[in-house]
A and B are shown apart, each in its own frame.
Chain A
Amino acid sequence: MTDAKKQQSNKLSEAEAIERAKLGDAEAFEALYNLHKRRVYSLCLRMTANTAAAEDLTQEAFLQLFRKIGTFRGESAFSTWLHRMSVNVVLMQLRKKGLPVVSLEETMETEEDAPRKELGAEDARLAGSVDRMQLQRSIAALPPGYRMIFLLHDVEGYEHNEIAEMVGCSIGNSKSQLHKARMKLREILKTSRAEKAAKP
């Protein structure tokens, strides 16, 4: 089967599942859950860096979705609708707990939070040596505001205008936070590599 046909078949099965879920079909709910659970859970896990919290948020996101599924009319892609809802659930939860979603003003960043200046010649290129485990750990070590924007843009693929709308910041702030997040990740990854190399 070609990719285009596979995509079409997935879309149809998802559309069918949505219609059946609207009628209260348990299998349809489960099919929709299985189609999207990994992406929603991964997003929640990386945003909270806590398995139990991520599972609670995943559950909450899907419950909100299923409660509102009768109102879904297909104007937007179902996945877009679901992931927006997941992001909103996570953001609401983070705000409830008083965790920073995004820095209000770039000038409020402390020296500690801001990515350090390049060290120059002693740095070797990271390209090609970034593995998944290292990157996961480095993302978890990011300040929450940086982490949020990085996850939404680089992992989830949202555009800056969408992020700005979701988290309530300007497009410029989103771009700036993303750049700082990447710079901070580069610094963490390089430090981690240097520490590994220094070990006997």
Chain B
Amino acid sequence: MTCEEFERVLPELGDGHTIEQEAHLKSCSACSDLVADLNAISQQARLLQGSEEPSPWVWNSIEVALQQEGLIRQPHLARSQPPAPLLGWKLRWLVPAAAMFLVAFGVLMFQRGTGQPPVAEQQPPPVGVETAGLQPMAGDDLQLLKTVGERMPSMRAEYEANLRSVNAYIRDAEQSAHSDPNDEVAQQYLRNAYEQKAMVYEMALDRSLP
């Protein structure tokens, strides 16, 4: 089998190869490199599924539309619960503060061309919070999860998954920005990543409050 013949049948190939194709791959490094690359692209692509988080405003708009169309027939349970004034009073200032801090930090990183090491690297991980295969969470994140867990236990896992995801996004964006500080796209990704984290904080604290 020649390379041209192999490339002609390549679009039709699934995971398996015929004996003739296997023999060609063993003897031809160009074709075996090609197959390895295409497999690597395909495998990495699967990890992109569901990796992006929509802004909280999307749900707000859907909810308003559902109410206007009369599809929602019951009041929102969480919002009909009696408030806990002390907790609310203590945390209400954190909503804009946390959001502003995270966006400002992202903008600062953007302006400095990521000359500073990421915050996560400067802080030792809290003891006992690392789980196998997962990065440890910073103290602020753990505090947020604690607050969410106290007010909305059923939503804690959702917020933990969101925080882990957005932290991974930030790490990726930081790596990309570090490797090429002049890459404007990477800087934009980094800024988006911090904005997303600010949104998660804002949404979590907003929902935790009466």
Contacts and interface: CB of A to CB of B under 8 A. Distances in A.
Contacts of B77: 26-27
Contacts of B33: 123, 125, 127
Contact of A45 (B40, B52, B69, B186): B52
A162 interface: no
Interface string B26-59: 0000100110111111101111111111110111
A157 B49 contact: yes
Given A120-B30, A175-B12, A189 B41 contact: yes
28 contacts: A23-B73, A27-B78, A29-B71, A33-B59, A37-B54, A38-B50, A38-B53, A39-B50, A42-B48, A42-B49, A55-B55, A63-B66, A127-B39, A128-B40, A130-B44, A131-B175, A131-B176, A133-B172, A133-B186, A133-B189, A135-B44, A137-B185, A139-B45, A155-B48, A175-B12, A182-B38, A196-B179, A196-B180
B63 interface: yes
A136 interface: yes
B144 interface: no
Contacts of B55: 55
A126 B30 contact: no
Contacts of A66: 62, 66, 71
Contacts of A176: 11
Interface residues of B, number: 53
Contacts of B74: 23-26
Given A132-B172, A175-B12, A126 B37 contact: yes
A118 B47 CA distance: 27
A59 B41 contact: no
A143 B116 CA distance: 36
Given A130-B44, A155-B49, A186 B54 contact: no
A134 B47 CA distance: 13
B122 interface: no
Given A41-B53, A55-B57, A133-B189, A157 B46 contact: yes
A53 interface: no
B72 A118 contact: no
A186 B41 contact: yes
Interface string B68-90: 01011111111000000000000
Interface string A101-132: 00000000000000000101101011110111
Interface string A26-48: 11011001100111011001100
A21 to B, nearest CB: 9
A63 B66 CA distance: 8
Contacts of A135: 41, 44-45, 48
Contact of A26 (B11, B46, B76): B76
Given A29-B66, A127-B36, A186-B38, 10 more contacts: A41-B54, A118-B34, A130-B40, A132-B48, A154-B42, A154-B46, A157-B49, A176-B11, A182-B41, A186-B41
